[in-house]
């Protein structure tokens, strides 16, 4: 038992500090993808509920593609495809060597996937908002931007929060895929530790436990967020 | 019809005749609002990139039109699909392995999820919390970590496993993948089943009890059929998630569709490998989604008004 603690300790003997670095990487990747995913998802939802057929069709193609592709494949398409594309464009201007940053590729791929799911969450939240809210805002003389900012968005946050928090937990788990393109996250370090120390079960269990802890922490945050979003509602 | 044709000019008939309705205004072209400009541009971009992908695939297989051939037509199509002739069959076998993996683990998952659901819903504290812990673990950790935990983690217990003659099972990547996927999907299915069973109104139980039906018959004949209809959609989503999630078994040396793609790419550095894989996955998921919508519409037709 003692040797397990040594293996997990911080410092030269243990892998604790490496795994902690991995946790930082996982969390920062998820946190970095989240705002882009949310913003893109919101814009997509606006496009999907617009009256313009071409806009709706284009947004639906986006969702079909990024919800249909496995996340791992999306990641590879962004990572390798992006690399090939940029290199070919650069080759037009001369000889350059360019390497796509794995963090950036992971961020783009995760944002693409997250946004296509988030757009559906926002869309169903939009549908749950009564038409009278728009009419009421109109009667008060609010413009489109004001209606959105003052009337619709505050309700939208509360309505879409359950689905979005689910998506956040999925995003947190999906960050594990970037270990495959060489980004040093929890799984990557656990893998390295497992190979070096020949204790795979210990390190992968630790990795799983860390993900569980992250999920528990997120749930705590989400329930506080939920209470904040529902602060205007009458408590029953 | 001109006015002159009805009655004499200035006569009663002409004064009382109802004027023909003016034809509807000719459809004016829709104005180019900003949303329309954005939508059209976006759609054009999709079409252009779609054509770009087709061009890329044709180009990488050296498909070309040759004029002045000897055949019936003065034009013939030549191609040099080296990549496809070499790896096409492997892609098909990878595709089948993916389907097999998903199919086997879904079926085993169904079998495992039924007793787990009863455990999860039972009033027994111990059974309930075991099932809760199981579901929480497998839904809260990444599938990749679970696969690694089972495939690599089994190595830690090599000697005890050899002593009970189970090592052959964990030595094989395929068995480990099926085991991990089964455990994972069963955890999700427990929640689907539990959610749909608990969502059936209490009145259904009470009415059945008033009719004197035993609990088991009530569950089997009244609750379960309604619960399964509610859970159709989440089950469909779960199959799609499994198909997409199955791509990660390529990492533990199983040559499913993704594995064959990676192998082909690492040997040729030909990016069309990933393009074909993307097309295959998209077709697979989209077909399933549409088929599932059909099935759902058919099975719930008695609920439509």
* Digit-coded pLDDT (tens) for A177-188: 999 998 889 999
Chain B residues in contact with A72 (beta carbon < 8 A): 247-248, 250, 258
When mean pLDDT is compared across A43-47, A72-76, B298-302, the lowest value belongs to B298-302
- Contact yes or no for B277 and A73 at CB 8 A: yes
pLDDT(A226) > 70: yes
Report how many helices (DSSP H) and strands (DSSP E) chain B contains, helices first: 14, 2
The helix, strand and coil proportions of chain B, stated in percent and rounded to the nearest 5, come to 75, 5, 20
pLDDT for the residue A16: 82
Give the pTM.
0.87
Using a pLDDT cut of 90, give the percent of chain A over it: 66
Count of CB pairs separated by less than 8 Å, A with B? 141
What are A69's two structure tokens?
């592709």
Residue B26: DSSP 8-state: P
- Report yes or no: B51 at the A interface, CB cutoff 8 Å: no
Residue B20: DSSP 8-state: P
**Rounded to 5 degrees, what are φ and ψ at B75?**
-120, 140
C-alpha to C-alpha distances, A178 to A102, A112, B148, B249, B257, nearest whole angstrom:
8, 14, 15, 15, 19
pLDDT(B2) > 80: no
pLDDT for the residue B1: 47
- Report yes or no: B220 at the A interface, CB cutoff 8 Å: no
C-alpha to C-alpha distances, A84 to A188, B58, B272, nearest whole angstrom:
25, 18, 12
d(CA A151, CA A133): 7
DSSP bridge partners of B216: none
Per DSSP, the three-state class of B76 is: strand
Per-residue model confidence as pLDDT tens digits over A151-160 = 999 889 989 9
d(CA B283, CA A19): 39
Chain A residues in contact with B247 (beta carbon < 8 A): 70-73
Using a pLDDT cut of 70, give the percent of chain B over it: 96
Q: Which of A178, A209, A176, A206 is nearest to A194 (CA)?
A: A206
pLDDT(A7) > 70: yes
**Span A23-40, average pLDDT:** 95
Tell me which of B226 and B13 has the higher pLDDT: B226
Q: Which of A177, A64, A189 is nearest to B247 (CA)?
A: A177
**Span A25-48, average pLDDT:** 95
**Average pLDDT, whole number, for chain B?**
89
**Span B187-211, average pLDDT:** 93
The dihedral through the CA atoms of A218, A220, A223, A229 has a sign that is negative
**Average pLDDT, whole number, for chain A?**
90
Residues 124-143 (A) with a CB less than 8 A from some CB of B: none
Chain A residues in contact with B183 (beta carbon < 8 A): none
CA dihedral A56, A59, A64, A70 (to 10 degrees): -170
- Report yes or no: A145 at the B interface, CB cutoff 8 Å: no
pLDDT for the residue B80: 79
Alpha helix positions (H), chain A: 2-8, 16-48, 53-68, 71-76, 82-92, 102-128, 131-139, 144-146, 153-174, 186-197, 200-229
pLDDT(A1) > 70: no
Distance from CA of A231 to the nearest CA of B (A): 27
Q: With contact defined as beta carbons under 8 Å apart, do A30 and A177 qualify?
A: no
**Rounded to 5 degrees, what are φ and ψ at B205?**
-65, -45
- Report yes or no: A177 at the B interface, CB cutoff 8 Å: yes
**Span B187-210, average pLDDT:** 93
pLDDT band at A236 (very low <50, low <70, confident <90, very high): low
- Report yes or no: A212 at the B interface, CB cutoff 8 Å: yes
**Span A44-66, average pLDDT:** 94
């Amino acid at each position: 038992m003692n040797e397990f603690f040594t293996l997990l300790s911080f410092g030269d003997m243990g892998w604790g500090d490496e795994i902690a670095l991995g946790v930082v990487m996982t969390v920062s990747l998820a946190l970095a993808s989240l705002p882009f995913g949310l913003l893109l998802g919101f814009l997509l939802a606006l496009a999907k509920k617009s009256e313009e057929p071409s806009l709706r069709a284009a947004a639906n193609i986006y969702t079909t593609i990024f919800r249909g592709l496995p996340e791992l494949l999306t990641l590879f398409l962004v990572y390798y495809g992006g690399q090939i594309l940029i290199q070919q464009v650069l080759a037009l201007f001369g000889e350059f060597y360019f390497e796509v940053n794995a963090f950036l590729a992971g961020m783009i791929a995760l944002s693409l996937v997250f946004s296509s799911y988030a757009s559906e969450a926002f869309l169903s939240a939009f549908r749950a908002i009564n038409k009278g809210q728009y009419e009421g805002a109109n009667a008060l003389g609010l413009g489109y931007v004001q209606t959105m900012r003052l009337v619709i968005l505050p309700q939208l946050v509360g309505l879409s929060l359950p689905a979005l928090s689910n998506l956040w937990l999925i995003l947190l788990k999906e960050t594990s895929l970037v270990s495959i393109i060489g980004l040093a996250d929890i799984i990557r370090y656990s893998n390295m530790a497992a190979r070096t120390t020949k204790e795979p079960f210990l390190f992968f269990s630790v990795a799983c436990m860390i993900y569980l802890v992250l999920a528990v922490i997120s749930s705590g945050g989400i329930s506080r967020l939920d209470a904040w979003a529902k602060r205007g509602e009458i408590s029953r | 019809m001109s006015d002159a044709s009805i009655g004499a000019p200035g006569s009663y008939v002409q004064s009382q005749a109802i004027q023909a309705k003016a034809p509807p205004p000719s459809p004016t072209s829709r104005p180019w609002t900003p949303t329309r400009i954005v939508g059209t541009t976006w759609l054009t971009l999709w079409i252009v990139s779609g054509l770009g992908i087709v061009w890329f695939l044709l180009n990488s297989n050296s498909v070309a039109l040759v004029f002045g051939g000897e055949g019936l037509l003065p034009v013939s199509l030549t191609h040099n699909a080296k990549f496809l002739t070499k790896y096409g069959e492997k892609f098909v076998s990878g595709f089948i392995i993916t389907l097999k993996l998903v199919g086997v683990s879904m079926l085993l998952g169904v079998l495992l999820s039924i007793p787990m659901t009863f455990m999860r819903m039972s009033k027994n504290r111990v059974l309930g919390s075991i099932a809760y812990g199981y579901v929480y673990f497998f839904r809260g950790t990444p599938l990749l970590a679970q696969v690694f935990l089972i495939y690599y983690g089994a190595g830690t217990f090599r000697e005890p496993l050899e002593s009970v003659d189970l090592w052959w099972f964990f030595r094989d990547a395929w068995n480990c993948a099926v085991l991990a996927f089964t455990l994972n999907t069963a955890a999700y299915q427990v929640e689907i089943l539990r959610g749909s069973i608990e969502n059936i109104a209490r009145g259904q139980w009470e009415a059945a009890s008033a009719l004197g039906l035993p609990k088991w018959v009530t569950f089997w004949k009244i609750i379960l059929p309604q619960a399964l209809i509610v859970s159709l959609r989440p089950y469909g989503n779960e199959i799609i998630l499994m198909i997409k999630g199955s791509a990660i078994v390529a990492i533990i040396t199983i040559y499913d569709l993704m594995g064959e793609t990676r192998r082909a790419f690492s040997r040729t550095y030909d990016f069309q490998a990933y393009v074909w894989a993307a097309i295959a996955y998209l077709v697979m998921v989209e077909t399933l989604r549409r088929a599932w919508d059909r099935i759902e519409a058919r099975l719930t037709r008695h609920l439509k008004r």
